[in-house]
Chain A
Amino acid sequence: MNDFMRNLLFLPEQASTFAHRVDRLHYVVIGTTVLAALGVGTAGLAFFWRYRIRTHGQLTQDVKAPLWLEALIVGVPLTVFLAWFAVGFSDFVFFTSPPKKTTDIYVEGKQWMWKFAYPEGPNAIGTLRVPAGRPVRLLMTSRDVIHSVFIPAFRTKMDVVPGRYTQLWFEATEVGRYPLFCTEYCGMSHSMMAGEVVVMPPAEFDRWFEAQKAGRPAVQDGTPVVGERVSLPADLVHEGQRVSAQLGCFKCHTVNGEPHLGPTWLDLYGRVSKFQDGTERVADEAYLTESMMDPSAHVVAGFANMMPTYRGRLQGPEAAALVEYIKSLRSARAPGEGAAP
């Protein structure tokens, strides 16, 4: 029955717990809809025939509705609709409430590609690998306009909005490959902003993940995916280098240990920066980000308060890349010794 209805309605395969859950309601709703439309329209047609005019100038009388009919006219649709709502909303609550423990994956949409990043792990463009049978949560943001992640086989979809994170969770049930679409109009290549979800057996997923983490490029599940690029964290460093060149950081900063207009970035991460007002602080990620966004908050002793703010000019991921780049700049000396700039 399930497969019959599914095929009749052209629905794709059911590959998530949510898909299994909502499809039943889907059949009921569409079934009722078809029946209601056919019923009402055909009743109209039948009346057209049954009550066609028979004599010239035929007169008709007002027909008053009995109370029970009025009650039925209001009551039946109301009950039906509220029932749909009740079931639908409880499913929706399921859809918006991820379980306590989920595998979190970060998603970034930008015109016109998807980036998936695993905490402590690899990141990939266009292909999202997830384990079957484990709840996965996508934490999603956009760096330009609104996009939307849509995985028809999971029956799930959520907008990806700049300036915030939205979440989308699912638990894949079938191993396989499923298309992923962008469904929020986002400009020229909106229709080409596609991706693929690869659902892997959990053990295989773990192996793949470990391999990625260790830096070995490995695609465990045989057939390579078209267009798939699995990149290592190191890419972020190169990205950071590119960004800093592009934004002109090197006009003031060096990476070779020499102070210039600004302090050198070599060994900056983990060092203790001393400020004009006498305070000091360990240069961790938060501090590095702050220095870019709000440089005059802490002015390093010995330097002028001249660095411009990059707030609004740096996209979130670019800031992250810069941070990673600065972190990668280590001399032979042990880190954290607080060497003078």
Chain B
Amino acid sequence: MRPSETGTGSLQPDESVLTGAPSLHPSGEIFPAAHYLNAGTRLRSWLVTVDHKRIAVLYLVSTLTALFLGGLFAMAVRVELVGPEPNLVDAVGYNRLFTLHGVVMVFFFMIPAIPGIFGNFMLPLMLGAKDVAFPRLNLLSWYVYVVGAAFTLWAMLYGGADTGWTFYTPYSTITPTKVTPILLGIFVTGFSSILTGLNFIVTIHTLRGPGLTWMRLPLFAWALYGTSIIQLLATPVLGLVVLAAALGHIFAFDLFDPARGGDPVLFQHLFWFYSHPAVYIMVLPAFGVVSETVQAFGRKIIFGYRAVALATAGIAFVGFFVWGHHMFVSSQSTFDAGAFGVLTMLVGVFTAIKVFNWVGTLYKGAIVWRTPLLYVCGFLYFVVFGGMTGVAVATVSLDVHWHDTYFVVAHFHFIMVGATLMAFLAGLHYWFPKMFGRTYPEGWGMVAGALIILGFNATFVPQFLLGNMGMPRRYYTYAEQFRTLNVASTFGATLLLFGFLLVGLYLLLSLRGGKVAGPNPWGSKGFEWLTQSPPLEHNFRTQPTFHGPPHDYSTPVEENLHG
């Protein structure tokens, strides 16, 4: 690899952004002869691989399938809701749809996606390591994920469940639908999550390359570290509660059965003890992606590295103490409402620190306007609005009105779609050349990004208003006054669908037809770009050593590169 030929030439400002020409790099880059993708091409070489990069690709395929499936369910939900009359399915069918939408999106797409794809791929590269600490465990965790998904898929084909993704008892124990296999699927997938988290923590502890101190760790690695802690310590509680619910279903052995003095609210406590931290499992990796992209395209080192890293840890930690904000009107005590209310405010502050640091990073940067940055721009708006509406619903008295209305639905879609999914897309575009050695068409990228951002607003802004009007969530039919806003929302979702399809299409085409990217098309100084793209089977020809923090753009990019 010739460092002098890395793609810094691409970063000239006079390039037209919307030409559609992937002119990110000087032409004439040569696709590397040997890399992880051609180090064995038979199916078997993929299915028994222990290469973290190949496992990342396996995750890419499987979680995108889940996204597609979850998206289909979402579209069906939206189509049903264009009017209060039955449009597509009956009431039970609708209830299954949103349940499966939630379950697939949360457990099979969003939780595994960023750690599974980008975490697996980038973490060892960023650390200058050959692989994660336990490569076989890594493969195992993908298989465990697949088994869990298979359970769930099976249950979906045979009727699905209609409980909502929260599985509240006693409804979940008395419903005749296929709750048990879905619960078991989630239980199994939980192990996958635990194993991934364990692997990452150990990797970060033991496999940092020479010179890579904790305070030089890329922020994406910090984000994964925080995420992994949550995965390790929260997931088992979900495992237990899901197991208890499944046993309740199978053996009529309900730990929460109110007819025998059991307390369904205890189920909620245990469920949210996992599921609130789980929302940070979803969002922290996305924050990590944003930290990376903001630096790479702002071409400036992060503003307040230490603060961002500590805020990550803070979110991971305090996130464990706020679960009760989902239960303000569940008959929980006023005392607890106060305790959870205050604690929730602290999480908001940690997130605010990160947000301000990202914006601060752009200050006095040398910003290169590319598709990933478009998504980051959307992200900034949506994470603040989504996050602040989170704090708004955490404001105890206001949640009384908003709880279980479309306001909450809009809140979490703002964070999960507007922030997390946008960050996912930013990462996908940023690292696509790293993973596959080719670039996507920049012009189409911008068009699709704009479409997605537009469609997103049109889908979910009306839902805030619906929530204010008092439309409850999980409603198959609704009062006439809610119609107009629902139509608007469905219209937005259609734009969203086309946006996503466009992204899927051009990325697929770029896999073969994209321009050869070269080792570092962005001229990024993230550590993962220290090797060729796509990387070698064992990542580096020689062990890199680290002399400073990542994304230090005070020196020319060439100085950072060695094979």
Residues of A within 8 A of B349 (CB): 74, 77-78, 81
Query: B29 interface residue, CB < 8 Å from A?
Result: no
Determine the distance from Cα of A34 to Cα of B380 in the docked complex, in whole angstroms: 13
Check if A48 sits within 8 Å of B474, measured CB to CB: no
Query: B207 interface residue, CB < 8 Å from A?
Result: no
Contact digits for A252-276, partner B, Cβ 8 Å, 1 yes 0 no: 0000000000000000000000000
Taking CB as reference atom, which chain A residue is nearest B301? A62
Check if A36 sits within 8 Å of B329, measured CB to CB: no
Interface residues of A in 268-299 (CB under 8 A from B): none
Query: A53 interface residue, CB < 8 Å from B?
Result: yes
Query: A198 interface residue, CB < 8 Å from B?
Result: no
Determine the distance from Cα of A166 to Cα of B330 in the docked complex, in whole angstroms: 9
Segment with Cβ contacts to B, from A125-133, A143-151, A232-240? A143-151
Query: A182 interface residue, CB < 8 Å from B?
Result: yes
Query: B299 interface residue, CB < 8 Å from A?
Result: yes
Contact digits for B490-528, partner A, Cβ 8 Å, 1 yes 0 no: 000000000000000000000000000000000100000
Interface residues of A in 1-38 (CB under 8 A from B): 9-12, 21-22, 25-26, 29-30, 32-34, 36-38
Check if A65 sits within 8 Å of B364, measured CB to CB: no
**In the complex where A51-B362, A77-B349, A162-B259 touch, is A183 in contact with B472 (Cβ < 8 A)?**
yes
How far apart are B130's CB and chain A's nearest CB, in angstroms? 31
Contact digits for A40-70, partner B, Cβ 8 Å, 1 yes 0 no: 1101110110011111111111110100001
Taking CB as reference atom, which chain B residue is nearest A97? B334
Chain A contributes a number of interface residues (CB within 8 A of B) equal to: 89
Residues of A within 8 A of B373 (CB): 48
Segment with Cβ contacts to B, from A88-96, A207-215, A324-332? A88-96
Residues of A within 8 A of B397 (CB): 21-22, 25, 87-92, 94-95
Determine the distance from Cα of A70 to Cα of B346 in the docked complex, in whole angstroms: 16
Query: B479 interface residue, CB < 8 Å from A?
Result: yes
Query: B233 interface residue, CB < 8 Å from A?
Result: no
Residues of A within 8 A of B394 (CB): 85
Residues of B within 8 A of A52 (CB): 13, 366-369
Chain B contributes a number of interface residues (CB within 8 A of A) equal to: 103
Residues of A within 8 A of B364 (CB): 51, 60-61, 63
Taking CB as reference atom, which chain A residue is nearest B343? A85
Residues of A within 8 A of B338 (CB): 89, 92
Query: B148 interface residue, CB < 8 Å from A?
Result: no
Check if A148 sits within 8 Å of B404, measured CB to CB: yes
How far apart are B227's CB and chain A's nearest CB, in angstroms? 23
How far apart are A7's CB and chain B's nearest CB, in angstroms? 11
How far apart are A146's CB and chain B's nearest CB, in angstroms? 6
The total of interchain contacts (Cβ-Cβ below 8 angstroms) comes to 291
Residues of B within 8 A of A58 (CB): 299, 366
Tell me the dominant secondary structure on chain B's binding face.
helix
Query: A103 interface residue, CB < 8 Å from B?
Result: no
Interface residues of A in 148-186 (CB under 8 A from B): 148, 150, 152-153, 155-159, 161-164, 166, 179, 181-186
Check if B342 sits within 8 Å of A85, measured CB to CB: yes
Determine the distance from Cα of A73 to Cα of B307 in the docked complex, in whole angstroms: 11
Query: A220 interface residue, CB < 8 Å from B?
Result: no
- Between A and B, 12 residue pairs with Cβ closer than 8 Å are A36-B385, A37-B388, A51-B298, A60-B298, A60-B301, A62-B301, A63-B364, A88-B396, A91-B396, A92-B400, A95-B400, A150-B472
Determine the distance from Cα of A37 to Cα of B553 in the docked complex, in whole angstroms: 29
Determine the distance from Cα of A36 to Cα of B355 in the docked complex, in whole angstroms: 11
How far apart are A57's CB and chain B's nearest CB, in angstroms? 5
Query: B542 interface residue, CB < 8 Å from A?
Result: no
Check if A47 sits within 8 Å of B359, measured CB to CB: yes
Residues of B within 8 A of A9 (CB): 465, 468
**In the complex where A52-B13, A60-B300, A163-B261 touch, is A73 in contact with B353 (Cβ < 8 A)?**
yes
Determine the distance from Cα of A185 to Cα of B469 in the docked complex, in whole angstroms: 18
**In the complex where A22-B398, A187-B175 touch, is A57 in contact with B556 (Cβ < 8 A)?**
yes
Determine the distance from Cα of A194 to Cα of B95 in the docked complex, in whole angstroms: 17
How far apart are B202's CB and chain A's nearest CB, in angstroms? 31
Check if A40 sits within 8 Å of B367, measured CB to CB: no
Taking CB as reference atom, which chain B residue is nearest A90? B397
Contact partner, B363, options A30, A63, A157, A181, Cβ 8 Å: A63
